[in-house]
Structure 1
Amino acid sequence: MRIGELARRTGVSERLLRYYEEQGLLRPERTPSGYRRYSDADVAAVRRIRTLLAAGLSTSTIARVLPCVCDVGERLVPCGGLVAELRAERERMDRQIEELVRSRRLLDEVIDAAPPEARPRGADWPAAS
């Protein structure tokens, strides 16, 4: 199938599919005239890529992970050697979340220090006392 058909079947734009190829996530065959040719396996690969992106992985991490992930029903299952890397990635995300929570607390302190007349009123803001 050509790139337009892959885009229709996956709901991913042609531009994004080309980006996935640039990142080494997809490797379509090429016709003698240079057109990309995709298979049903590429449809499944795009779905895996989208799931891994939604899980917060970078494209460089996905490039390493993708060859070692398979579909079992509706779930992605990694090979055994990949679990440690995925756990490390999750720990990195946990650290980022903790940093964001700390930053939000500091920002709340700055907002709370503002005089009441500078605070907008609304559902998310308490009325000035």
Structure 2
Amino acid sequence: MKIGELAQRAGVSVRALRYYEEQGLLSPERTLSGQRRYTEDTVEVVRLFQQFYAAGLSSRAIAALLPCVNNGRTTAAQRRMLRAERDRLAAKVEEMTRTLLRLDQLIASADHHGAPAHAPR
């Protein structure tokens, strides 16, 4: 598929796909005229990149983990990195969960006490 179709199906911009290519994350085949061609599997790979970026992983970290995605095999260093990223994300989820609970408490308290009456001007 062409770059525009991949962008649309993966929900990213063409610019993002070109960035992924510059970072060594994507290696599309090229036609004789130089057009990029992507496989069907690339859609899910790009979506995974988006998830990783949203979770705070860098291009460098994603590139280091790419062989795990492509062939399922990992080195000891990659497994350490995977565990470290997982632990970092778990800590972030715990922090966000605490914040969510605190917001729920504030909302419940505000609902219980009702909205204040309008003060005279």
TM-score band, normalised by the shorter chain? 0.5 to 0.7
Report which of the two has the higher share of helix: 2
Structure 2: 5+ residue stretches without partners? 93-121
The amino acid of 1:28's aligned partner reads P
Report which of the two has the higher share of strand: 1
TM-score by length of 1: 0.59
Q: Distance in 2 between matches of 1:80 and 1:55?
A: 22
Q: Distance in 1 between matches of 2:14 and 2:7?
A: 6
The amino acid of 1:33's aligned partner reads S
Structure 1: 5+ residue stretches without partners? 71-76, 98-129
How many corresponding residue pairs? Answer: 90
Q: Which residue of 2 aligns with 1:85?
A: 81
User: 1 or 2 for the larger relative contact order (CA 8 Å, sep ≥6)?
Assistant: 2
Q: CA RMSD in A?
A: 2.6
The amino acid of 1:24's aligned partner reads G
Q: Which residue of 2 aligns with 1:15?
A: 15
* Cα-to-partner distance string for 1:82-129 (whole Å, 9 max, x where unaligned): 3311233456779xx8xxxxxxxxxxxxxxxxxxxxxxxxxxxxxxxx
* Matches for 1:60-75 after TM superposition, within 5 Å: 60-69=60-69
The amino acid of 1:66's aligned partner reads L
What percentage of residue pairs aligned between the two structures are identical? 56
Q: CA deviation at 1:78?
A: 8.0
Q: Which runs of 4+ in 1 moved over 6 A?
A: 91-94
